[in-house]
Structure 1
């Protein structure tokens, strides 16, 4: 499992699934990735913090927001379907699961505390 890698990681993983499946090493593969709906959660997280709890700053002296780490070129569900539809996984069955805000067990508590 990887989190927030560059989207080319999907290509590497799908090709690996294909090779493992063709060698009878695996029967199926599972990919967990964030859904686009997590973007609203990231927007509420605020700035990155250093070890002392101070906001990290960008080159212009502004706080670096956590949400900026989750851009369109990272591993999220929007970058996966066309790769699977292109057959990059070969004959290996792939279960792709998109993580949504509804899967966060403490989300309502967090929303109340950070409203």
Structure 2
């Protein structure tokens, strides 16, 4: 999903960063051993993705905005400088060149409001050319998880089987494609180009679940 032709902007204006993003799209696979892991769902997947971008020079940084007004005379000379105003930002998961990229995997959906508000402010201030948000298609992945988990249960002895998934995929109040799309449709991005990438069934690497 994209706003303001984000993919075209990234490809044309930020070619190096676009190459990193397309490399991620071609190589990242959803591994059930990491994904269906109790207590580590968001952490394991997000860490894996962050490491992929970190290896290509992306950094976790806090982006602050510094604004200062200048009083200009008729002759174009600076007469005075108003006090600087500093707007403290937040830690973005990955930043490189003029692109901000966050991994929102099963976090509280309020994070999306923070992310998108910051992207818009940074773009309007001329700090970034585009932003990227990596998340999940919750409905599609919930069905896939149930299928993988059911197949795994069939390999266990009857007394070891349990129908409940090791992670909670029932809640709809976490970050996912549906929640991101809702905000995009509201027009919260303004003119800021945003590319939303979501893991789907096709992201699965085809492996079965293993707890070891």
Q: Is the TM-score greater than 0.5? A: yes
Contact 2:104–2:176 (Cα < 8 Å) also in 1: no
The 1:78/1:2 distance shift into structure 2, 3 A limit, reads closer
Runs of 4+ more than 2 Å apart: 41-46, 62-67
1:95 corresponds to: 195
Is 1:41 the counterpart of 2:139? The answer is: no
Counting matched residue pairs gives 95
Q: Which residue of 2 aligns with 1:110?
A: 208
> Once the 2 structures are TM-superposed, how far is the Cα of residue 5 of structure 1 from its aligned partner?
0.7
Unaligned residue ranges in structure 2 (runs of 5+): 1-102, 151-161
Between the aligned partners of 2:131 and 2:170, the Cα distance in structure 1 is: 24
SS at match of 1:66: coil
Q: SS of the residue aligned with 2:128?
A: coil
Larger radius of gyration: 2
Report the alpha carbon displacement of residue 96 of structure 1 after superposing the two structures with TM: 1.0
Q: In 1, are the aligned partners of 2:142 and 2:169 still within 8 Å (CA)?
A: no
Quote how far apart the aligned CAs of 1:76 are: 0.9
In the alignment, structure 1 segments of 5+ residues that lack a partner are: 47-61
Q: What CA RMSD, in Å, does the superposition of the two structures yield over aligned residues? A: 2.5
Aligned 8 A contact 1:42 1:66 in 2: no
| Structural mapping, 1:21-100, within 5 Å | 21-35=123-137, 36-43=139-146, 44-45=148-149, 65-69=165-169, 71-100=171-200
